[in-house]
């Protein structure tokens, strides 16, 4: 797989696979298994790069969780660096030669912090902080002086707070919201010789991670579109002021923001030097619910039909892998191929068995496979040790997931 595999921007989305095609390609493979369709993945990569319009994309590792795929995406022009999700993962990737790592979530892992402090290369991972308490904690974890100052990223709260703050829309992440607060924390960082302020990050999950065609209907959709427009405008202004205030203290080179669902709006802000995206490569179910872009499902998993309780029902082995987040219908996986299947209302997708019903169920036989989609991206890889990679009409590789390499992150 090479960078040249990327479908050129403007070529349009890759076509979705047909059931018969997948069954022919995987005839010799026993289910359960998971696959990534590289034709779809590269067409999704081109879509992301098109929306980024020249701003580099940092790849969210948690949304891929496969080292070989991450390396291949990073070999593609337009993608630069990883946004990682745990410190042990960041150190492991660093040990495998990844040298542009921004850890997006604060770490309380004292052993890993002490190990990080022993690294002295320019490619040592950047830690996330949002408070003086974090700085104190990190310093208390060190057994001696760090080999080089620890590089840190200051996280900004991106939430939208209308009605004078009586309503708060957005993830509960950083307490740093205003230019004054950001500047004060920047001063606290540069005052400590063990730290270097390397980056500023704000992830607008309420814009990037919320589709505007929700399962709950049209009214909600209109409200979400309105909220997003307001929040995008408010954040652009505030983020510019925060960056200016922080740069009075230190020449922070990296200003990171966004996610798959906001590549185009985040990238339009002049102060943004890079956008993060990952899920868009796999295009899980949640990303079917956005009106401003369209992707091709690239990551699927296959479960075998193991019994036929009655004419209209085929029962799969397991497959109940709900996604994280506020529990709701939108966190559930869904049968994808063959078309015309749905879960049974009483059982849903289960730990050990999943009955499927609908027009296609009657023709399914024991040993046939049903292909499902996960609601989110990288979490699928926690269920499978490897991913089959497809290109054209054939399997071109089988690569380990993080789990397949013995990693248990989150
Ligand atoms: C800090 C941060 N940035 C960016 C993203 C967006 O990642 P993705 O494009 O995979 O949705 C996330 C997702 O949760 C995140 O936590």
pLDDT of residue 12: 80
- 8 A C-beta contact, residue 333 and residue 288: no
Per-residue pLDDT at 6 exceeds 60? no
Per-residue pLDDT at 218 exceeds 80? no
Per-residue pLDDT at 166 exceeds 50? yes
Average pLDDT, the chain: 96
Q: Which residue's alpha carbon is at the smallest distance from atom 3 of ligand 1?
A: 203
Structure confidence at residue 216 as a pLDDT band (50, 70, 90): confident
Q: Name the DSSP class of 169.
A: B
Q: Lay out the sheet containing 274-277: strands in order across.
A: 101-103, 79-84, 57-60, 274-277, 254-257, 195-202, 150-155, 127-129
Structure confidence at residue 217 as a pLDDT band (50, 70, 90): confident
Distance 405 CA to ligand 1 centre (A): 23
Structure confidence at residue 214 as a pLDDT band (50, 70, 90): confident
pLDDT digits (tens, 9 = 90+) for 225-263: 999 999 999 999 999 999 999 999 999 999 999 999 999
- 8 A C-beta contact, residue 103 and residue 84: yes
Phi-psi region of 274 (alpha: psi -120 to 50; beta: other; left: phi over 0): beta
Q: Which residue's alpha carbon is at the smallest distance from atom 5 of ligand 1?
A: 259
CB crowding 164-194: b at 16 or more within 10 Å, else e: eeeeebbeebbebbebebbbebbebbeebeb
pLDDT of residue 10: 54
Distance 305 CA to ligand 1 centre (A): 34
C-beta 48 within 6 A of ligand 1? no
pLDDT digits (tens, 9 = 90+) for 286-342: 999 999 999 999 999 999 999 999 999 999 999 999 999 999 999 999 999 999 999
What average pLDDT does range 7-11 have in this prediction? Answer: 52
Task: Among 208, 264, 293, say which to mutate for ligand 1: greatest number of ligand atoms within 8 Å of CB.
Answer: 208
Nearest atom of ligand 1 to the alpha carbon of 259 = 6
Distance 183 CA to ligand 1 centre (A): 25
What average pLDDT does range 48-58 have in this prediction? Answer: 98
C-beta 158 within 6 A of ligand 1? no
pLDDT of residue 7: 45
Tell me the C-alpha distance between 372 and 335, whole Å. 4
Please name the helix (run of DSSP H) or strand (run of DSSP E) that holds residue 302, with its range, or none. strand 299-310
Nearest atom of ligand 1 to the alpha carbon of 258 = 4
C-beta 63 within 6 A of ligand 1? yes
Distance 4 CA to ligand 1 centre (A): 26
Per-residue pLDDT at 407 exceeds 60? yes
Distance 275 CA to ligand 1 centre (A): 10
pLDDT of residue 2: 45
C-beta 260 within 6 A of ligand 1? yes
Per-residue pLDDT at 1 exceeds 50? no
C-beta 256 within 6 A of ligand 1? no
Q: Point out the least confidently predicted range of 53-62, 105-114, 187-196, 205-214.
A: 205-214
Per-residue pLDDT at 61 exceeds 50? yes
Q: Which residue's alpha carbon is at the smallest distance from atom 12 of ligand 1?
A: 259
C-beta 279 within 6 A of ligand 1? yes
Please name the helix (run of DSSP H) or strand (run of DSSP E) that holds residue 386, with its range, or none. strand 386-391
C-beta 259 within 6 A of ligand 1? yes
3-state SS record for 343-367 = ECCCCCCCCCEEEEECCCHHHCCCC
pLDDT digits (tens, 9 = 90+) for 386-406: 999 999 999 999 999 999 999
C-beta 159 within 6 A of ligand 1? no
Task: Among 79, 201, 203, say which to mutate for ligand 1: greatest number of ligand atoms within 8 Å of CB.
Answer: 203
């Amino acid at each position: 797989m090479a960078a040249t595999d990327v479908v050129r921007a403007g070529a349009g989305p890759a076509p979705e696979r047909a059931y018969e095609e997948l069954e022919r390609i995987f005839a010799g493979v026993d289910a359960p298994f998971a696959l990534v369709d590289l034709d779809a993945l590269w067409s999704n990569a081109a879509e992301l790069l098109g929306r980024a319009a020249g701003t580099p994309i940092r790849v969210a590792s948690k949304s891929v969780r496969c080292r070989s795929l991450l390396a291949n995406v990073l070999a593609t022009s337009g993608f630069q660096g990883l946004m990682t999700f745990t410190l042990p993962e960041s150190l492991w990737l660093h040990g495998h030669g990844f040298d542009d790592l921004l850890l997006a979530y604060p770490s309380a892992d004292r052993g890993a912090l002490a190990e990080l402090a022993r690294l002295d290369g320019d490619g040592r991972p950047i830690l996330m902080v949002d408070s003086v308490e974090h700085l104190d904690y990190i310093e208390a974890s060190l057994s001696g002086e760090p080999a080089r100052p620890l590089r840190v990223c200051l996280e900004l709260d991106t939430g939208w707070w209308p009605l004078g703050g009586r309503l708060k829309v957005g993830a509960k992440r950083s307490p740093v919201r205003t230019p004054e607060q950001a500047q004060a924390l920047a001063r606290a960082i540069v005052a400590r010789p063990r730290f270097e302020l390397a980056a500023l990050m704000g992830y607008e999950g309420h814009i990037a991670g919320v589709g505007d065609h929700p399962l709950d209907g049209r009214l909600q959709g209109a409200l979400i579109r309105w909220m997003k427009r307001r929040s995008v405008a408010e954040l652009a202004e505030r983020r510019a002021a925060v960056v200016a205030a922080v740069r009075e203290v230190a020449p922070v080179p990296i200003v990171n923001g966004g996610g798959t669902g906001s590549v185009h709006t985040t990238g339009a802000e002049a102060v943004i030097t890079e956008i993060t995206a990952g899920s868009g490569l796999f295009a899980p179910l949640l990303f079917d619910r956005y009106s401003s872009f369209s992707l091709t499902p690239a990551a699927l998993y296959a479960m075998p039909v193991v019994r036929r309780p009655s004419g209209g029902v085929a029962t799969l082995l397991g497959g109940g892998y709900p996604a994280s987040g506020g529990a709701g219908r939108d966190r559930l996986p869904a049968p994808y191929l063959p078309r015309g299947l749905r879960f049974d209302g009483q059982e849903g997708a289960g730990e050990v068995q999943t009955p499927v019903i609908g027009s296609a169920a009657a023709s399914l036989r024991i040993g046939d496979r049903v292909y499902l989609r996960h609601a989110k991206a990288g979490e699928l890889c926690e269920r499978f040790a490897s991913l089959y990679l497809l290109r054209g009409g054939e399997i071109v590789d089988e690569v380990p997931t993080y789990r397949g390499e013995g990693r248990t992150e989150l």
